[in-house]
Amino acid sequence: MRKILLDTNVILDIALNRQPFFQEAEKVFLLLDSSQLIAYVSASTITDIYYITRKAKGHSLAINFLKDLLQFVEVAGVDHSIILSAIAMQSPDFEDAVQMSAAAAIQVDFIITRNQPDFSASPIPVYSPADFLSFWNQKS
C-alpha cells in the first residue's frame, strides 16, 4: 500500500469547489476508496483548511467538511522535530517546508500538490493531481 501526503491546496479545491481544479482533486480522492493508497495531511493543514473554509463558507460547513475529510485521511503530526527540520530546509515557503518535513517523517511515497515549484527541495516525489493520476493509471 502506497502513502501520499495531500497538500492544503488540493484539499481546499474540494472544500471550496474551486474550478477548474475540483475534478482532478476529486479523482485523487476516489483512488482512496480503492484501498491502494493511504492519504495523509499534516496537522497544520487541518487548521489551515478550517480557517480558510470558515472564512468562505462559515464555521458549521468548515467543521462538517473536516469531519468528512478525517474519514478518508490520516493526520501526520507536526511537532518540535518537524518544525526544526522545516527550518533547516531554508525553503522560501515555510508552510511547504513543514509539509515536506511531515511527509518525510512518516515516509510517504508521494506528495500531491498544485504548487510543485515550492516543493523543489522535497526528497519525496512531488506530483500535481493530474500528473499523479496519469502516473497511477499507467502503473495500474
* Predicted confidence (pLDDT) per residue in 81-139, tens digit: 999 999 999 888 999 999 999 999 999 999 999 999 999 889 999 999 999 999 988 87
pLDDT grade, residue 33 (50/70/90)? confident
- The SS3 assignment for 66 reads helix
Hey, what's the cell of 20?
477548474
pTM of the model as a whole: 0.94
| 7 CB-side CA count, 13 A | 24
Helix H or strand E segment including 42:
strand 37-42
